[in-house]
């Protein structure tokens, strides 16, 4: 019975997703074209990658506000590097982007796990620091399309069978980390620590490791996402991915991830990502002004949170009812 309620959350999301596609498709047929479908997929691919990392952080009852700034800093770093040293092979650039992200994420993780500073404070600070560094290393200027080689710009576009590299990487991230969270010992420990930190400590789970790991992984992923981002939009700027962290957190919340930690599924996150990605695209298609788009996005997040809360309350009620039996 309870299991059904949990399943229902994903079901509701799926139904809203399909009806959204149908309604927008009726108003603007171009929305349903294959070309637009690809655009949506590529747009949401970046969101999906970063959201998987954020999901892990939220699972341990944390939050990573530095993802937007992290994407921008890695993106700008590799773009500048590529501009000044065009000789560096692309695969080295790819590895470097992951490494930079790894370092940024590790910094967050170490502050959270070793110094036990609340994640919201740590990442609020590093969000500012990382964003500041973007302007600092670039001197406030842009790296634009003509300063990037074709190989660099085509990195996210290439692919096979009409599936872009960008989408492939996102799918790979979702699968790998989905399996990691559900089936590995460390993945389950992430759920355990998020669900009950004291109990986890008492059974000897390594809290330092489990509280560091999600930030490190989230960082490594957003590092790679940063490279793909500047390559896809063919520009690196000081305000790249500004506010992206909020969309990412929203995707997780819409996907049913509990902000208090310990619960949520990879499938839910993927649906949440698709929902936000499709809404963004749809609103543009039916020519809703950007200001209304922001308001609507806020509204969706609010509705999602209300649905989550109501569902949790309903579960709680069922539980109390059973306990009294």
Partner 1 sequence: MVTNKLLKAGRDITSKSEPILELRGICKYFGGVHALEDVGLELYPDEILALVGDNGAGKSTLIKIIAGVYQPDKGEVLMEGKEIEIRSPRASMDLRIETVYQELALVDKLDVVENIFLGRPLTKFRWFVNRKRMVAETVDILKRLKISIPSLKEPVQNLSGGQRQALAVGRAIAWSGRIVILDEPTAALGVEETRKTLALIKQIKEQGASVIVISHNLRHIFEVSDRIIVLRGGRRVGSRIKSKTNIDEIVKLITGSL
Instruction: Return residues touching partner 1 (CB under 8 A).
Output: 2-3, 183-186, 188-189, 191-192, 195-196, 198-205, 262-263, 318-319, 322-323, 325
Least distance in angstroms from the C-beta of 272 to partner 1: 19
Nearer CB in complex with partner 1: 9/131: 9
| Residue 286 and residue 267 in contact, taking contact as beta carbons nearer than 8 Å | no
Nearer CB in complex with partner 1: 191/215: 191
Least distance in angstroms from the C-beta of 8 to partner 1: 15
Nearer CB in complex with partner 1: 2/286: 2
Nearer CB in complex with partner 1: 191/222: 191
Rg (CA), the chain: 20
Nearer CB in complex with partner 1: 189/245: 189
Residue among 83, 303, 102 at smallest CA distance from 221: 102
Nearer CB in complex with partner 1: 235/263: 263
Residue among 130, 129, 121, 127 at smallest CA distance from 62: 121
Nearer CB in complex with partner 1: 59/69: 59
Least distance in angstroms from the C-beta of 44 to partner 1: 28
Q: Which residue has the tokens 């940063």?
A: 226
How far apart, in whole angstroms, are the C-alpha atoms of residue 68 and residue 85?
A: 25
- Dihedral in degrees, nearest 10, Cα atoms 112, 115, 118, 123: -50
Q: Sign of dihedral through CA atoms 73, 75, 78, 81?
A: negative
How far apart, in whole angstroms, are the C-alpha atoms of residue 208 and residue 111?
A: 11
The strand pairing partners of 160, in sequence order, are 163
How far apart, in whole angstroms, are the C-alpha atoms of residue 317 and residue 300?
A: 26
Residue among 168, 173, 167, 165 at smallest CA distance from 56: 173
Nearer CB in complex with partner 1: 56/143: 56
Least distance in angstroms from the C-beta of 97 to partner 1: 26
Least distance in angstroms from the C-beta of 106 to partner 1: 21
Least distance in angstroms from the C-beta of 206 to partner 1: 9
How far apart, in whole angstroms, are the C-alpha atoms of residue 168 and residue 279?
A: 22
Least distance in angstroms from the C-beta of 308 to partner 1: 14
How far apart, in whole angstroms, are the C-alpha atoms of residue 309 and residue 192?
A: 21
Counting every residue written for the chain, the total comes to 325
- Dihedral in degrees, nearest 10, Cα atoms 220, 221, 222, 223: 50
Least distance in angstroms from the C-beta of 202 to partner 1: 5
Does an H or E element contain 143, and which? strand 143-144
Least distance in angstroms from the C-beta of 64 to partner 1: 21
Nearer CB in complex with partner 1: 75/214: 214
Work out the angle at residue 178's Cα, subtended by the Cα atoms of residues 12 and 66, and round it to the nearest 5 degrees. Answer: 90
């Amino acid at each position: 019975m309870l299991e059904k309620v949990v399943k229902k959350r994903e079901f509701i999301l799926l139904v809203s997703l399909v009806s959204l596609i149908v309604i927008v498709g009726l108003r603007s047929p171009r929305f349903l074209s294959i070309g637009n479908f690809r655009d949506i997929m590529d747009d949401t691919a970046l969101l999906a990658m970063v959201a998987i990392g954020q999901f892990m952080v939220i699972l341990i009852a944390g939050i990573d506000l530095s993802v937007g700034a992290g994407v921008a800093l890695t993106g700008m770093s590799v773009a500048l590097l590529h501009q000044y040293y065009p000789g560096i092979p692309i695969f080295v650039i790819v590895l470097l982007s992951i490494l930079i992200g790894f370092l940024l994420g590790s910094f967050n993780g170490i502050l959270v796990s070793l110094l036990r500073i609340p994640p919201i404070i740590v990442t609020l600070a590093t969000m500012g620091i990382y964003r500041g560094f973007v302007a600092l290393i670039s001197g406030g200027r842009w790296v634009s399309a003509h300063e990037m080689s074709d190989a660099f710009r085509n990195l996210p576009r290439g692919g096979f069978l009409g599936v872009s590299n960008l989408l492939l990487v996102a799918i790979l991230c979702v699968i790998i980390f989905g399996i990691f969270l559900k089936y590995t010992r460390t993945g389950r420990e992430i759920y355990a620590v998020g669900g009950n930190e004291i109990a986890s400590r008492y059974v000897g789970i390594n809290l330092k490791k489990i509280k560091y790991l999600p930030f490190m992984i989230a960082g490594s992923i957003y590092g790679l996402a940063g490279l793909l981002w500047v390559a896809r939009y063919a520009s690196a700027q000081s305000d790249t991915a500004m506010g992206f962290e909020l969309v990412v957190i929203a995707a997780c919340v819409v996907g049913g991830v509990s902000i208090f930690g310990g619960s949520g599924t990879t499938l839910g996150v993927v649906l949440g990502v698709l929902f936000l990605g499709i809404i963004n695209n749809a609103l543009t298609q039916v020519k809703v002004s950007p200001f209304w788009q922001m308001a609507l996005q806020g509204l969706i997040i609010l509705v999602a949170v209300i649905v989550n809360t109501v569902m949790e309350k309903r579960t709680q009620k069922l539980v109390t009812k059973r306990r009294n039996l």
